[in-house]
Amino acid sequence: MHARISKNPQAAARWVEAAALNGIVSAQIAWGQMLVDGHGVARDPEAGRRWFDVAAAAGSAEGRNMVGRAFELGWGVAADPARAAGHYRQAAEAGHGWGQFNLATLLLEGRGVPLSRTEALHWYVRAARRGGGEAAAKSATMVGRYLEHGWDRPSRPAAAARWYLRGAEGGDYRGQFDLARLLLERTGRLDLAAPWFTRAVEAGVPAFCRHVGMALRGSPEPTLRQIALRALERAAESGEPEDLRAYGGALAEGLGAIPDAAAAAQFFRRAREAENEARRLAAKGASAVAASSSPASRKRPTALLRAARHALTAAHRARRSITNR
């Protein structure tokens, strides 16, 4: 199912929907996520949440966790961390790794539940010890942070490094970064740390890469400055003006390499274009709001609104016809 959706979501949509309607729980969850994301189908978060409800009602811990995600992130429903925590707890107690991780995160942050680092650690450890998978890797990284920073207990950097290694080997880019940082701080072995920094940058999302780039760009080590340059390049994939400008500045100053004024100018230009486009869209949105609230617009519906009403009436009649059959 995952392969079909990844290869061609539009073509897979009918197949996944049909499987969901036929009671296949994994398809119900996949179809719900496609609706939430608008992946291969028109975006409809409320309908997606309802499919998560269906899977959860069938006894699926993964479905229950996804209902929790809907309440935490406001997918088709008002965001409600307290209700999210209740669903996460049910999934966690059923042994679901992501449910355990998500519940632990709410407990650690005190969102929707009373803050409890001790109970959060309990659930991170349980998720980390479940075996492989992304939830286990991310949970191992969080256990490492408890041990390194001494949250509610004495700091144990050596033990933290072992947990970071579990997270890093499991593919968690934050675990890879934390392991590299701790190795460098404790041993000074750049040859051990640099490969993990590199893996973290290649796996990380743009926002994380921005953090890595800024953290490493001031290093006196040429190897780390080169990694910082690559991190800022990855961050620029976001298309955000500040990321484009930061990477352009790094190219201009020759961070980890020879200065490249021509390439820097291209990124500075892209940053300006992105800012101008953002201003244009903001102005267009403001104009639309002003037009909709003007006295003339309130006197009578526009042709577009009349057409929309006719379409809704026709759709309602069609639904009644289908239901009557």
CA angle 103/107/111 to nearest 5° reads 100
Burial 210-238 (b: 16+ CB within 10 A, else e): bebbeebbebeeebbbbbbbbbbbbbbeb
Task: Name the pLDDT band for 319 (thresholds 50, 70, 90).
Answer: very low
pLDDT at 296: 53
Q: Is residue 3 part of a domain?
A: no
Residue ranges making up the domain that contains 240: 207-274
Q: Look at residue 78 and tell me whether its pLDDT is greater than 80.
A: yes
Q: How many CB atoms sit inside 10 A of residue 121's CB?
A: 22
The answer to whether residues 193 and 221 belong to one domain is no
The answer to whether residues 142 and 200 belong to one domain is yes
- The pLDDT tens digits of the residues spanning 235-284 come to 999 999 999 999 999 999 999 889 999 999 999 999 999 999 999 988 88
Q: Is residue 139 part of a domain?
A: yes
How far from chain centre, in Å, is Cα 194? Answer: 26
Task: Name the pLDDT band for 294 (thresholds 50, 70, 90).
Answer: low
Residue pair 9/39 in contact (Cβ under 8 Å)? The answer is yes
In 3-state terms the chain splits into helix, strand, coil percentages (rounded to 5) of: 80, 0, 20
Q: CA-to-CA distance for 315 and 156, rounded, in angstroms?
A: 64
**Over residues 101-128, mean pLDDT:** 97
For residue 55, give the amino acid letter. Answer: A
The answer to whether residues 268 and 224 belong to one domain is yes
The answer to whether residues 251 and 215 belong to one domain is yes
* CATH number of the CATH domain containing 139: 1.25.40.10
- Higher-confidence residue: 50 or 300? 50
Q: Is residue 109 part of a domain?
A: no
pLDDT at 292: 61
Q: Look at residue 141 and tell me whether its pLDDT is greater than 70.
A: yes
What domain count does the chain have? 2
Matching residue, tokens 């970071």: 164
- The pLDDT tens digits of the residues spanning 148-183 come to 999 888 999 999 999 999 999 999 999 999 999 999
Q: CA-to-CA distance for 37 and 177, rounded, in angstroms?
A: 29
pTM above 0.85, yes or no: no
